[in-house]
Structure formats: C-alpha cells, structure tokens
Chains A and B, each alone.
Chain A
Amino acid sequence: MTRILEAIGRVVLRVFEEIGNFFSMLGRVAVWAVRPPYDLAELMRQMVRVGYDSIPVVFVTTLFTGMVLALQTFNGFARFHAQNLVGSVVALSLTRELSPVLTALMVTGRVGSAMAAELGTMRVTEQIDALTALATEPVQYLMVPRVSASILMLPLLVIMGDVVGMYGGYLVAVQLLGANPVAYIDNSFQYLHVKDDVVSGIIKAAVFGLVFSLIACVRGYYTTGGAEGVGRSTTRAVVSGSLSVLVVDFFLTKLLY
C-alpha cells in the first residue's frame, strides 16, 4: 500500500516539478527576449524551420481532416435532413478546434522533437557550457529565437490550415456527395464569425506554439546522461508537449468562448 502511495507521490511531485521548471524558464525567456543583442538572422532561420518546413505536414493533415469531417457529418446529418449545414460544421470545427490542435500536435512531433534533440546534444557535448564560457547566455541564444519563432509561425500555419481544411470539406461535399457548390460556400460562411471563431483559433495557436517549444527547449536544456539521455529528452518533449497542448486547449476554450 505504502509503495503504491509512494509511486503516486513521486509522479505528482514530478508533474509539479515540470510545471515549476516550465514557468521559471518562461520568466527567463521573457526577460532575455527583450534584452539586446537581437539575433534576427537566427530568428529567421528558426521561423523557416518551424513554419515554412512544416507546410507540407500541416497541409496534408488539415486537408484530410476537412475531407473526413465533411464525409462524416454529411452521413450523420442526412439522417435528419440537415445536409445543408455541413459547410457550417466543417468551418466551425476547423477554425475553432481542429486546425489549431492538429497543427500544434503535428508541429510538436516534427519540430519539438528536433529542438529537444538539438539542445540535448548540445548539453551532453558541453556546447551549452561552451556558450556560457564565451559569455553568451544560452537561454537568449538558443531558446528565445526558437520560442519566438514558434509563437509567430503557428498562427500562420493555422490560417493556412483553416483555408486548406475548408477546401477539403468543399471538395468532398461538392465533388463526392453532390452538394450544391454555391449553397455549400454560402453555408460555410453563414455562421462563421471572424472575431470569435477564426481569431480565437489563432490565439490558441500562438499559445500552443509557446507551450510546445518551451517544453521541448526545457527538456533538451536539462538533458543528462549522454546519447540515451538525448533520446529520453526527445521522447518526453513530444509526449509532454502533445499532452500539454490538449490540456491547455481545454482551458483556453473555456476561457475564450
């Protein structure tokens, strides 16, 4: 019995430790982000890695999500003769929920893992110590550009995802299921409020960008134990990053709507 309680206690302690690490690093990143020097070249490089390089993954993810969404709702809604509402359902689900969350999850897997592995390798090969020894603050040099790039690029990816997903829904509804194209598009935008739906999806995306990139950077930064440790950090960056995105999503939704 005590052993079970001990195990539970350990897990709880670790969760709180992680949350503490996250917020203390958040403070450090915020402080170092406003201090000069500003490394715009590095920021651009990270924006390309987080944003531009993720376009294909996000494109395929949201396209098929929009397509399957149209397919499923069409089948369901046909049972009570509400097929004309498919466009609205696709548009609202995508902009408010699916496009931000799925984009964040895909980017966590693609970019978060790479960030954790890169910083982890730099830690175990003493490159982070070398940065400090060369009077360069590692939080500023390594984390600020990565986190800023993620906060900036995820909203852009989500805007693209919104458009691509809605186009996927249109394709299925009109080409496959024979909906009237004009009525479908009309219905898509009929109930869509830019401020409530699209903008809050974009705000979500920015927060997800902060959450996944900071978790990945913290994981990498505190790596110990050689190559095995780097592997462990990478896995944990993706797992805690993805879970955090989902948990934060719930509370943000509660807050924003």
Chain B
Amino acid sequence: MEGKGSPAAPGKTAPKLQAEDLHKSFGDKVVLDGISFSVASGESLVIVGPSGTGKSVLLKHLIGLIRPDSGRVFVAGEDLWALSHIERNRARKKFGMSFQEGALFDSMSVFDNIAFPLRRSGHPPRQVRERVRECLEIVHLPNVEEKRTSELSGGMRRRVGFARAIAHEPEILLFDEPNTGLDPIMTEIIDEVILEMREKMKPTIVTITHHVESARKIGDRVALLFGGKLLYDATPGEFLKAQDPAVRQFVEGNAQGPLTRDFEMSAR
C-alpha cells in the first residue's frame, strides 16, 4: 500500500523510529519547521533546547499524540498516520512514554496506575501483581503500591510514571523532561534509573531535556532543537565540544547568543 513502507531499506537496517520532514504550526506560530531524524534500535537520542522551543511537541509527534501538518513518522517501518485508528493504537503499544509531571491517573492508586496498561491488554491478576512489583523495583520504589498519587513527591511521581511506561515491556521509551523541577540529587537518581532501564531492557530511547549533564550521561547522540529545526546532531562528546555558536551558548548557558537573539526578536 502506498505510503506504508519505510523509505529506508527494509530489514535490520530500518531505523526503529524515524521522523521525516515534520512541519507543525499552531495558528501562525511555526513550532516544527522541517525536522528529520532517525533512531536505530537500541540507540538513545537526547534532544535538548531552551524552554518553549517545541521539544514536547516534537516528542508527542513521535507517538502520534499530535498529527503533523506535513511530514511522516515511521515506527518500526510503519507510517503512523497511514495506519487505521485501531492499527495506530496497536503501534502505540510499542511505546512507553513518561510525561513531564508524571501524568499519573489521580483517581487511582499507584498500583492501579502501573497495572493499567497490563489490565487493558487482558493480563491475569496474578501476572499483573508480579509485573507491577517488578516495575517498582526497577525504579527503586518498593512498597508504595497502595499509596494515592497525591501522596507522592515529584521524584516519586516521575518514577511511578516510568514504572507505568515500562509495564507492558515496550521497545521504545520516550521521556519528556524526566528531571525538570527536581533537586540535584533526584536528578542524578533519575538519570541512574534511566541508565539501569537501558541496561536491562535495551530499548530505543528518545529523551528531551534541557539538562546538558543528563544529556551527556544518557544519550548516544545529542541534538539541539531551536527555531523549529534540529540544529546539531552528534555524539555527546562532539556536542559538548562543538564550535557551533548556538550549541556553545546552550552548553555554556550564556544569556547572550544566537538562541536568545532570535527569541528577543520574536518577542518584540
């Protein structure tokens, strides 16, 4: 069928996740202006950028929460928006997504949150119980099953969100600002948890963050998103040493530079 096949060669070389010339505007504000990249199976891509540049919007395109104005997203070779509604939901089961503030279902206990995807796909209760316990161990949060989500601290909410995202053993993990708004110690712990999950499950990972240090630790590749485009895409080592002025400004955290000049101009 037209549009369904991946443009890349089929088989092992096909990337797990691929974005092809994504464009998205909200009203007259252009958020994504021709974004293309691909992530190989088992690879970890980190997308960094200043706040408000559309990082979350980009991440939500990858799992089909937002439909691009033009361009395509391929998940394991399947064009997400060429699929039927039902097939798209099936494709989404390959994903586990962790949201910025956790996005836990606040009408449910921690246990029910993590059990949610398992119950929806019809796992028997005993299996559900075991898997929930397993997932909570992976994120280092034993014995919180019966807590209400409102009783959890910010770091705990993120980790319960991780546990829910990995419960159905997805092949692709998406992290939306996993350590924004957390103290330095918790930031470190979250990074460690992500690395451990990587070790254990070998998933394909896309993370968005504005922590350069986290990006260095958890990414095989780091890319800078600004002005609706991916400005730079390289290994963490190269990224940190890059001479590109925008990258330099972001890495060094300067107030003056190409990133903020654009911002000031658009703000005027």
Contacts and interface: CB of A to CB of B under 8 A. Distances in A.
Interface of A: 37, 121-122, 125-127, 129-130, 132-137
Contacts of A135: 89-90, 92-93, 117, 120-121
Given A133-B63, A133-B65, A133-B95, A126 B103 contact: yes
Contacts of B101: 125-126
Given A37-B120, A127-B106, A134-B164, 5 more contacts: A129-B99, A130-B104, A130-B105, A132-B65, A134-B116
Interface of B: 60, 63-65, 85, 89-90, 92-93, 95, 97, 99-101, 103-106, 116-117, 120-121, 164, 168
A134 B101 CA distance: 16
12 contacts: A126-B101, A129-B99, A132-B63, A133-B65, A133-B95, A134-B120, A135-B89, A135-B90, A136-B89, A136-B120, A137-B85, A137-B89
A245 B53 CA distance: 43
Q: Which 5 pairs, one residue from A and one from B, show the smallest C-beta to C-beta distance?
A: A126-B103, A130-B103, A133-B97, A135-B92, A135-B89
Nearest to B91: A135
Name which of A126, A134, A136, A137 has the most chain B CB atoms within 10 A of its CB: A134
A133 B59 CA distance: 11
A204 to B, nearest CB: 32
Given A126-B99, A126-B100, A133 B92 contact: yes
B105 A127 contact: yes
Could you tell me the dominant secondary structure of chain B's interface residues? loop
Contacts of B89: 135-137
A136 B93 CA distance: 10
Nearest to B96: A133
In this complex, which of B64, B97, B101 has the most chain A Cβ atoms within 10 angstroms of its Cβ? B97
B195 to A, nearest CB: 22
Contacts of A122: 105
Nearest to B121: A135
Which of A37, A127, A130 counts the most chain B CB atoms within 10 A? A130
Contacts of B105: 122, 127, 130
A126 B93 CA distance: 18
A127 B103 contact: yes
A137 B101 CA distance: 21
B65 A129 contact: yes
A128 to B, nearest CB: 9
A130 to B, nearest CB: 4
